[in-house]
Structure 1
Amino acid sequence: MDSAVIVVGAGPVGLMLAAELRLADVPVVVLEQLQKPTGQSRALGFTVRTMEVLDQRGLLPRFGEIATSSVGHFGGLLVDFGMLDSPHGTSHGIPQARTEEVLGEWAAELGADIRRGHQVVSLAADPYGVEVEVRTATGTERLRASYVVGCDGGRSTVRKLGGFSFPGTPGTMEMMLADVKGCDIPAHPFGHRVSGGVAMSAPLGDGVHRIIVREHGAPARSRPADFPEVAEAWQRLTGQDIGNAEALWASSFSDASRQATAYRRDRILLAGDAAHIHLPAGGQGMNVGLQDVVNLGWKLAAQIHGWAPPALLDTYHRERHPVGERLLMNTRAQGLLFLGGDEVQPLRDVLTELIALPSVGLHLAHMVTGLEVGYDTGPGEHPLLGRRIPHQELVGDTGKTSTTELLHQGRGVLLDLADDPALRRIASAWHGRVDVFSGHAHAPADDGPFTRTSALLVRPDGHVAWAAPGAGELPRALHRWFGAPR
């Protein structure tokens, strides 16, 4: 084997997966066909759930000062994110290029082998591994790994070569975008609906504005738009001439909506846009992709190291495919609301009234920020079971820490909150896979879940796999998620 895992694609999703694998001491090679990053940024920030995920790996300080907001939208209709129970808000102003830079540095520090100018041209899988043929500037080479993961975007080569089915709906409409400077553009971050379509604009800093236009009746095209086309559409919709502005880049996208029927075919897996494409409503695409690979990384590492319990790797598809289905559902709904013509205005009016109801607003906020996601981790009645563990300050024998900090190393964690030596003795048989913390919650909320909790078993991705009282015996959960004891 040239590596345990080959990751195809050095975008944010591929780099995050490489780092997650290296946290678990798994050799990984990342193959990227581009010689260098484009510097272009479709995604511009993180959802609340992604902020939590990055925080649990200690990554947020690497991004510097992060501007957050408690205001979001669903299909251009304002939603109050201030109702969400999270220490984080939705972040803005973090270009995808910066995310790639930070995650690339982290993955390299951890020992990932990132190879640029390597284009995958064929795959051949057998019961023992996958052979990858790669074209480089100097010729062709072959690499072999136990597993290959396609993180290579919506036109994924791995998905096509791996024979994955990718059903859905083709694009029926087009939106064009450009990042421009040298002109004064009014801000319409949630869209400005006019008779001919929709115009959106948002300042990105340093005099740069992101503009997005959708003209009613414009079909999806087979090539990206150029800036003169974007500028002409902007003038038709808004009356403003920006033709003399400096365009940093321009492109276009459609409302095509597709999802792989399986995220795994034996030793080949998919994540991010390789597994699901959709209208980029609310910037969810990259965020869901990052969450995909945080779910996958520790499971694939367990398989490589030989301690994965039966079917652990299959839970990647079982847990994340429904999340992708919900993603496609909500982005298609937002597309109708946001990009439709006058015929959708009555629906927008009704939904505006509904969003004002706290329960409806909270439901939509959870949906588009990823906070609704929970998994079936086993029987039990505890409110945290299957959910991502909330941030909680903790006090132990060695001082203060937090649930977030305990997950920095990407291992499972047993929280012994009732000083139970029997639980600690049980967990010691899984040393190296599960860290043990003994202590108590620092100033828990009077009505919070930690006030009724004596112990929690947390998976490396931050989701609660077992809780006491109410979820049965600890050894069963340890076997299910962390294999046989040493």
Structure 2
Amino acid sequence: MHDVVIVGAGPVGLFLACELGLSDCSVLVLEQEPELHSPRTALPLGLRGLTATTVESFYRRGMLQELLAASGVDGYPDSPDEPAPPRQVGHFAGMVLDPADVDVAALPFRLPGPAMEGVLTYLEAVERMLSERAAKLGVEIRRGVRVSGVTQNEETVVAHAGEHEYAARWLVGCDGGRSTVRKLAGFDFVGTEPQFIGYTMFATVADPGKLRPGFNLTPTGLYVQMPMQGHIAMMEFDAGTFDRSQSPSREHLEAVLRRVSGTDVTLSDVHLASTYTDRAMQTTTYRQRRVLLAGDAAHIHSPMGGQGLNVGIGDALNLGWKLAATVRGDAPEGLLDTYNRERHPIGAWVLDWTRAQVATLRPDQHGQAVQALIRDLIGTRDGTTYVFEKLSGSSVRYDLGSEQPLVGRNAPELRLEDGTRLGDLMQEGRGVALDFTTDRRLHDSAKCWDRRIRYAAGPARNDLGLGAVLVRPDGIVAWAGDSAFDREAFERAAGRWFGSPAL
């Protein structure tokens, strides 16, 4: 019997598998697709954007260079001494933001580091990289396995696949928007129905000059001509009435493109095409006894703003160390419940964020009025900075019950004078206690959690006015203290997240 069975070998399931593998959990990943390669995950249809926060998650597990190489990125420039404006900031409802309008000084607790920018990548590259890393960590991946049943009791959960049964202490559904695990385990899935149908295609365009590059809002919808010739996305408000069980024909795609673009453009051939809607749904909880959900299995929405994959990786990062501690038996009471408490509101926010963009795109007078308002707002420095904070994930803060403004946020890339970075200390998947005062009392206290917390001391290049910081394995600040070290407060925070000290 395995500690954890994960259903779904997409980026979310594989990232979670790697997190569990770091803690020596016995992990089995079941994937219904027989092969890793798929036209849907390869370029161009598999193109995805990772935010800087997500890229930082890969960096903090020692995978930044692998990610860049797999994505065809030559490398990042050396991080400056001061935070620089981002080179790409994304869009809101197809209205592209100007990076020069981001007020870097207004971003909360932003420090320079190796992972300051988002990355354009594609699903197959990420999946291949994570599959290789998971295998090195002892994770077993079985492909061509279709789960048809899920049963559980107080001790175990079993995934049924034909004549085979896969038993584990925990099961996590990471099997996408049409999740089988979600349905079999009886999760409630609620939300709003679609207003538009979206299409992504790779086609031969007879007269590409009739289409403008980039994002194009029109009176009838939106179309995007990607940098790769023939890679086109578009959306049309038809209340989601197109039958998505059938592949769209060349004639249908051409007709939609003509209506949305307002041109008589011609598609000579369509090589690949996929559809999506803005249906926005979320499970009412991310856990049913011994079954948990992460990524699209727990929440679906339109791809506006590229939030889906990034939120899914965030789910996996949050869940991984908590589930591993539960498997090991050293988790404090209620630790696993904080996964739902922290991540469910993030999923709900993303659904509303995409709904707001859909409302802005509506091809009627109401939508046109909202578009004009949004254009005015993102034409200001404050407006652009606000949207960038939301898109990048830097505005996320969990309510951990502390008034200290850094607690609950993703930790900035703190760096000691000797060059050691926070990211260097997080690659083992443990918590980190940073002591900028070299107070022996903090060292002695942190050593009580030796297997779970890594201690490092020394003056920092920028300590943000703090004396010490405790960072959870997912990069979230659990506690921060000033120069007068409060041992009782530190131990209370450490015990809350890492259990009893191992004296």
Are 2:426 and 1:436 equivalent residues in the alignment?
Answer: no
The 3-state SS of whatever aligns with 1:428 is helix
Could you state the TM-score of these two structures normalised by the residue count of structure 1? 0.90
Distance 1:209 1:104 in 2: 30
Distance 1:258 1:197 in 2: 23
Instruction: Name 2:81's counterpart in structure 1.
Output: none
Instruction: Name 1:46's counterpart in structure 2.
Output: 50
Are 2:59 and 1:55 equivalent residues in the alignment?
Answer: yes
Residues 409, 346 of structure 1: CA spacing in aligned structure 2 closer, same or farther, 3 A cutoff?
same
Note the alpha carbon deviations across 1:411-447, whole angstroms, 9 max, x for none. 10000110111111011111111011111212x2xxx
Instruction: Name 1:392's counterpart in structure 2.
Output: 414
Matches within 5 A, 1:315-326: 315-326=338-349
Matches within 5 A, 1:269-280: 269-280=292-303
The 3-state SS of whatever aligns with 1:441 is coil
Instruction: Name 2:17's counterpart in structure 1.
Output: 18
Instruction: Name 1:226's counterpart in structure 2.
Output: 248
Q: Which moved more, 1:235-244 or 1:369-378?
A: 235-244
Aligned-pair CA distance for 1:372: 1.2
Matches within 5 A, 1:327-406: 327-381=350-404, 383-395=405-417, 399-406=418-425
Instruction: Name 2:499's counterpart in structure 1.
Output: 483
Are 2:476 and 1:463 equivalent residues in the alignment?
Answer: yes
Instruction: Name 2:142's counterpart in structure 1.
Output: 115
Equivalent residue letter for 2:492: R
The 3-state SS of whatever aligns with 2:217 is strand
Distance 1:92 1:47 in 2: 7
Aligned-pair CA distance for 1:387: 0.8
Distance 1:50 1:304 in 2: 25
Q: Which runs of 4+ in 1 moved over 4 A?
A: 84-90, 181-184, 186-190
Instruction: Name 2:323's counterpart in structure 1.
Output: 300
Residues 101, 184 of structure 1: CA spacing in aligned structure 2 closer, same or farther, 3 A cutoff?
farther
Instruction: Name 1:131's counterpart in structure 2.
Output: 158
Contact kept in structure 1, 2:56 and 2:116, CA below 8 Å: no
The 3-state SS of whatever aligns with 1:21 is helix
Equivalent residue letter for 2:215: G
User: In structure 2, which of residues 261, 267, 272 is the aligned counterpart of residue 243 of structure 1?
Assistant: 267
Are 2:34 and 1:35 equivalent residues in the alignment?
Answer: yes
Residues 172, 347 of structure 1: CA spacing in aligned structure 2 closer, same or farther, 3 A cutoff?
closer
Give ranges in structure 2 of 5+ residues lacking alignment: 75-85
Instruction: Name 2:443's counterpart in structure 1.
Output: 424
Could you state the TM-score of these two structures normalised by the residue count of structure 2? 0.88
Q: Which moved more, 1:20-29 or 1:218-227?
A: 218-227
Distance 2:212 2:400 in 1: 42
User: In structure 2, which of residues 224, 232, 235 is the aligned counterpart of residue 200 of structure 1?
Assistant: 224
Aligned-pair CA distance for 1:188: 5.3
Instruction: Name 1:410's counterpart in structure 2.
Output: 429
| Bigger proportion of residues as strand | 1
Residues 236, 378 of structure 1: CA spacing in aligned structure 2 closer, same or farther, 3 A cutoff?
closer
Distance 1:362 1:404 in 2: 25
Aligned-pair CA distance for 1:374: 1.2
Residues 51, 181 of structure 1: CA spacing in aligned structure 2 closer, same or farther, 3 A cutoff?
farther
Equivalent residue letter for 1:416: D
The 3-state SS of whatever aligns with 1:178 is strand
The 3-state SS of whatever aligns with 2:199 is strand
Contact kept in structure 1, 2:437 and 2:458, CA below 8 Å: yes
Distance 2:409 2:120 in 1: 29
Task: Tell me the C-alpha RMSD between the 2 structures.
Answer: 2.2
Are 2:121 and 1:94 equivalent residues in the alignment?
Answer: yes
Distance 1:245 1:199 in 2: 18
Contact kept in structure 2, 1:394 and 1:441, CA below 8 Å: yes
Q: Which moved more, 1:51-60 or 1:421-430?
A: 51-60
Distance 2:479 2:246 in 1: 48
Residues 304, 44 of structure 1: CA spacing in aligned structure 2 closer, same or farther, 3 A cutoff?
same
